[in-house]
Structure 1
């Protein structure tokens, strides 16, 4: 929602974003599946706090939403702050050049 209303970085239109989501899910399924398997769970959830929908390998669907939101939030912050960091680098380089001359 923040991307569409305020940030407008264009992140969702980039193939690199969607590739990163494929990479995230590629690691999330085996790890999360192992952690949340119902026959020998390492991580337990309060049934009142989740929908109870699990797919695949007993992974609560909320874990996918959380994982995608977390990675997307970091990438949006990175994209939003990047132009400022690049401008600061240019300003710093310009100041160094002025001192050298």
Structure 2
């Protein structure tokens, strides 16, 4: 069984299900999300391509554990699924946590300084 492929697909299914069934942030309808994913992809392709190039790989994969589909520059297609899952889950959890507000310390009262 191609375990790497199974886990890659499962990660996408789990993250999408979390968004659609529980978190419901609406992230998939936001242009900012898709632009962020394009930026991530823009960095993932050259870095992952350099790490997984077949002629001199830094990262080795067990070919029996994956589909063997590699695009572009010998990048296993499963890497894109994991990248999508990791970045999307991080964004979803960030959105779900909501903005953090730091308590504002009041400015010193100028009139109190004059009375001393």
Shorter chain as normaliser: what TM range? 0.7 to 0.9
Q: What SS does the aligned partner of 2:62 have?
A: coil
Moved over 3 A (4+): none
Structure having the larger proportion of residues in helix? 1
Distance 1:25 1:50 in 2: 21
Q: Output the TM-score relative to the length of structure 1.
A: 0.82
Partners of 1:76 and 1:49 in 2: CA distance: 29
The corresponding residue for 1:58 is 74
Question: Highest Rg: 1 or 2?
Answer: 2
Q: How many residues align?
A: 91
Q: CA deviation at 1:62?
A: 0.5
Q: 1:51-90 alignment to 2 at 5 Å?
A: 51-82=67-98, 85-86=100-101, 89=102
**CA RMSD, 1 decimal:** 1.6
Shift of 1:51: 1.0
TM-score normalised by L of structure 2: 0.72
Structure 2 unaligned blocks of 5 or more:
1-16, 107-116
**Corresponding residue to 1:22 among 35, 38, 45:** 38
Corresponding residue for residue 35 of structure 1? 51
**Looking at both structures, which has the greater relative contact order when contacts are Cα pairs under 8 Å and sequence separation is at least 6?**
2
Q: 1:41, CA displacement in angstroms?
A: 0.5
